[in-house]
Amino acid sequence: MKRLIKNYLLLLISVAFITSCKKDASHELQPSGQVNIHFHPIVDALPLDFTTLYRNSAGEDYSIRTFRFYIHNIELINTDTKVSGGADANHYLVDAQNLQSTVIGSQAAVNTYNSIAFVIGVDSIRNVSGAQDGALDPAKGMFWTWSTGYIMAKFEGVSLASTQPGNRFEYHIGGFKGADNVVKRIQLDFPPGQTLAIVQGKSVSINITANANTWFDGNSVISIAATPVSMTPGVLSKQIAENYYRMFTVTDVENN
């Protein structure tokens, strides 16, 4: 009797395992297509140029030397039908000095979408996993070796308003714990009337601008003269992050 019960239990486990494998396999075989996400760094209406002088909301002129940020969990969404195209959990470092990094290729399930979402910053688990490779390689200059975690976004430049050596300003924004957490999910609707159709075996594109000038204005006005440096998690870092959450806009989609 005991042997019969044991054999019956083993049979149930086997059936459950096979069913699970079939579900996983069907998920993996779900038709998908390529989506290329183009990030266009700008300053207000102008393309970001490292030789150009810009002006922030505090009336301070500045030039840019570094502008980069992490994103992960890219997801296409149809807000009408509540359908998701699946999330890409990979981490990507978008760097205005590296044009190749500003185009991200991902996969999404075949469907029609009108919105895109992604997380700006580095996942909390990755922040406590030490130095890693790929986009999270410390050689990228985005890992705080003297502190725990990653720099989620970095903005550096030069302004006569700065009292720092060389008139530099440096905003290294990080923090993933409690009130200092700057990791945030961003969701952007496509322009009115535009949808993105993912077709199996075909490639489509989304164009997103990232406006560096929003770092200085939003919930808080950030003056280079008053605060030329932010290098640690805390109140100032959080204020700057809440400003730059607004820097993204989907300008158009291309169904090719």
What is the average pLDDT across 40-68?
97
20 lies in the same domain as 90: no
**Pairwise pLDDT comparison (147 vs 246), residue with the higher score:** 246
Cβ neighbour number for residue 244 with a 10 Å cutoff: 26
What is the average pLDDT across 194-208?
95
Number of domains in the chain: 2
Cα separation values, 173 from 45, 225, 231, Å? 24, 18, 7
What is the average pLDDT across 218-234?
96
What is the average pLDDT across 87-102?
96
Q: Would you place residue 27 in the very low, low, confident or very high pLDDT band (cuts 50, 70, 90)?
A: very low
10 lies in the same domain as 50: no
73 lies in the same domain as 96: yes
Residue 130 burial (10 A CB sphere; 0-12, 13-18, 19+): exposed
211 lies in the same domain as 95: yes
Q: Which of 136-140, 145-149, 216-220, 228-232 has the lowest mean pLDDT?
A: 145-149
- For residue 12, what is the enclosing H or E element? helix 2-28
**What SS3 class is residue 112?**
strand
Q: Virtual CA dihedral for 122, 123, 129, 130, nearest 10 degrees?
A: 10
Cβ neighbour number for residue 193 with a 10 Å cutoff: 6
Query: What domain range includes position 9?
Result: 1-30
24 lies in the same domain as 112: no
Residue 16's pLDDT is what? 47
219 lies in the same domain as 247: yes
pLDDT of 5 over the 50 cut: no
Q: How far apart are CA 134 and CA 139, in angstroms?
A: 9
Task: Tell me what percent of the residues of the chain surpass a pLDDT of 90.
Answer: 80
2 lies in the same domain as 68: no
